[in-house]
Amino acid sequence: MRERYRNFSAAVYFTIGDLERYADPDLLAEKVEFLQEHIKCNKVYLETFRGAHIIEKETILRAKEFFAGRGFATAGGITPFAGEGWRFQSFCYTNQEHLAKLEEVVAFTAGIFDEIILDDFFFTNCKCESCIKAKGEKTWSQFRIELLEKVSREVVLKTAKRVNPGIKMIIKYPNWYEYYQNTGYNLEAQPEIFDLIYTGTETRNPMYTQQSLPRYTGYFLLRYLENVAPGRNGGGWFDTFDCLYNLGSYVEQAYLTLFAKAREVTLFCAGLLFSRGSIFLPLAGHVFDRVDGFLGKTGAPVGVSCYKPYHSSGENYLHGYLGMLGIPLEPAAEFPAGSGLVLLTAGAARDSGIVDKMKEHLLRGKKVAITSGLLRALQDKGVEEIAEIRDTGKKVMVQEFAYPPYECSFGNYYQAAKPILIPQLEFATNDTRQRIVGFGPQNNFPVLLEADYGPGMLYVLTIPENPGDLYALPAEVLDEIRRVLTADLDVRLEGPANVGLFVYDNNTFIVESFLPYFSDIKIVVEKKNAGLVDLVSGEEIRGQTVGERSIFTIKMEPTTYRVFQY
């Protein structure tokens, strides 16, 4: 058996192009030796189909034999992609020729491997005349999730099991989780059809790429899919694209995938890892070795419960922005009725019963925090029965903030790094209270509201028109938001944005700085006379007891993390 990491396994994906490029066994042996020098890789995924190109059987059998003879586990990979280059054109799943090709590829691959992963091109963006006719009066989303559910069951699974009854089939989901339903990814039905699911944890650059994904998204999405299919989320997968400009972005993908407790990490792909100066494999190996040294000391991830229903979207990737504020999230596709505070973003409006669920939760004496986007989506749909708060549809630019209110006045004034455009919310004075406000000319506007409902408490958090402006809020305002949203946790952060907090159920946590400069971060532990131990260095850190809590100040180097137990 190959040497492996204690707390996860590592795999590398070989595309058809990689397998054909390294078809010479001597060249492949040289590349695999380089791989083995840097990471404890114990599995390879060998691709049989991509972009209308199916591999020669002799080539794939030779590759499988090569790796199996060296102790690697082997699995097949299929990329159902019909386009060329970087135009992502899917199969047409109303086209019988395309369906026949998919069946052929699945049968071919299932005849070779006992495990197959579908790369995250198993979606449909086809709007040919055939698809338009088949869609009828349905929305594109409804048509596509039903279509792909049927294809998953009747073509992919049925074919694979017929050829190889013991085969394990895996569907990999991409990182763009807000739009799964728009292209046919059916997160409600497909995990019950496939044996395992898999998670794309790529985040790359959140600003200068077409995918504007806050870096925390890699952690968030793996946790979300783990809770969709407990115990059957096979692992996390990331690549090197758009990482050469900043190698730290590649390293962060690795950190976040492992902090989320991925069972396996797959590196895409061999050709990219063996080229581009060959820097990525040493980087990945360094991360894997370091994280494996402490990951077993951390427990199960915990965080602020948040609810994102199946097939929902709204306030695009806001969870990632909130995570970048140091608010740890634990997402679910079912309403977490048994938890404490529940955070709801605009996507929760997909659940037609969400207002009733909010009421029930509040009447149990619990807390619900909703965003201004969800307030807008639920306006005149029952949310006013909880609190009379409205989005006026107007916007206002604010830069100065204050909290908390003292009777009729404010204290603690703070300036943001820049003017921030926010929606204007109206509320019933004295029925609803302002926890944080922003100031405009001769006026003030709510940033965080609270209102009683039975024994419970509703919070409404105003989200800037550009959610990236959350990072520009004064640290003191962020501290108050964290204080409210993480009240159920024993640990929270104080300080600037772009610092992540990852909390586990055994008094351990990780603080990661995404900042490009040195920063001082305060850690607040809700226990008197608590102590901190750095689980990597063994350093014991003394704090200051203030009332019933302990406060620690740590210095974070740029783009680094620290692991603690309290």
Task: Identify the pLDDT of residue 209.
Answer: 74
Residue 85 burial (C-beta neighbours within 10 Å; 0-12, 13-18, 19+): exposed
Q: What number of other Cβ atoms are within 10 A of residue 303's Cβ?
A: 23
The runs of H, that is alpha helices, within 39-139 are: 57-68, 96-110, 129-135
Nearest to residue 369, comparing CAs of 503, 496, 459, 497? 459
The amino acid occupying position 101 is: K
Residues of the chain whose pLDDT is less than 70?
1, 83-87, 244-245, 276-277, 405-409
Contact 82, 98 (CB under 8 A): yes
Q: What is the pLDDT of residue 85?
A: 56
Q: Are strands 264-268 and 233-239 parallel, antiparallel or unpaired?
A: parallel
In terms of Cβ atoms closer than 10 Å to its own Cβ (0-12, 13-18, 19+), residue 54 is middle
**Span 464-489, pLDDT tens digits:** 999 999 999 999 999 999 999 999 99
Burial (CB count <10 Å: 0-12, 13-18, 19+), residue 129: exposed
Helix (H, G, I), strand (E, B) or coil at 520: strand
pLDDT in tens, 42-100: 999 999 999 889 999 999 999 999 999 999 999 999 999 886 655 678 999 999 999 99
| Rounded Cα–Cα distance for residues 233 and 230 (Å) | 7
Distance, CA of 438 to CA of 4 (rounded, Å)? 53
DSSP string, 265-281: EEEE-HHHHHSGGG-HH
d(CA 336, CA 369) in angstroms, rounded, equals: 13
Contact assessment for residue 180 and residue 140, using Cβ atoms and an 8 Å cutoff: no
Percent of the chain as helix, strand, coil, to the nearest 5: 35, 30, 35
- DSSP H/E element including 14: strand 9-14
Contact 11, 267 (CB under 8 A): yes
- Name the residue type at position 162: R
For 447, the enclosing helix (H) or strand (E) is strand 443-453
Cα–Cα distances (Å) from 103 to 89, 154, 163, 169, 277, in that order, read: 18, 10, 11, 14, 39
Please check whether residue 502 is in contact with residue 328, taking contact to mean a CB–CB distance below 8 angstroms: yes
* Global pTM value: 0.96
- Cα–Cα distance measured from residue 112 to residue 15, given in angstroms and rounded to the nearest whole number: 16
110: tokens are 């299932």
**Are the CB atoms for 435 and 404 separated by under 8 Å?**
yes
In Å, what is the CA distance from 241 to each residue of 74, 169, 202, 210? 24, 26, 9, 12
In 291-366, beta strands by DSSP E: 301-302, 304-307, 329-332, 342-344
Question: What is the pLDDT at residue 107?
Answer: 98
Give the helix ranges, DSSP H, for 190-260: 190-193, 217-228, 247-259
Q: What are phi and psi of 114, to 5 degrees?
A: -95, 0
Place of tokens 């109303």: 94
- Given a contact cutoff of 8 angstroms between Cβ atoms, the answer to whether 462 and 427 are in contact is no
Vertex 256: Cα angle to 18 and 280 (nearest 5): 35
Q: Do 201 and 155 form a contact (C-beta atoms < 8 A)?
A: no
d(Cα 111, Cα 528) in Å, to the nearest integer? 62
Residue 436's Cβ-side half-sphere holds a number of Cα atoms within 13 Å equal to 25
> Cα–Cα distance between 343 and 452 in angstroms, integer?
16
User: DSSP letter at 331?
Assistant: E
Q: 189: closest CA among 221, 244, 240, 142?
A: 142
Q: What's the angle, vertex CA 481, arms to CA 476 and CA 486, rounded to 5?
A: 125
Look at residues 313, 334, 268, 274 and name the one whose alpha carbon lies nearest to residue 120: 268
Question: Interior CA angle at 81 toward 77 and 85, to 5°?
Answer: 110
Burial-class residue 152 by CB neighbours within 10 Å (0-12, 13-18, 19+): buried
Q: What is the pLDDT of residue 212?
A: 80
Residue 317, helix vs strand vs coil: coil
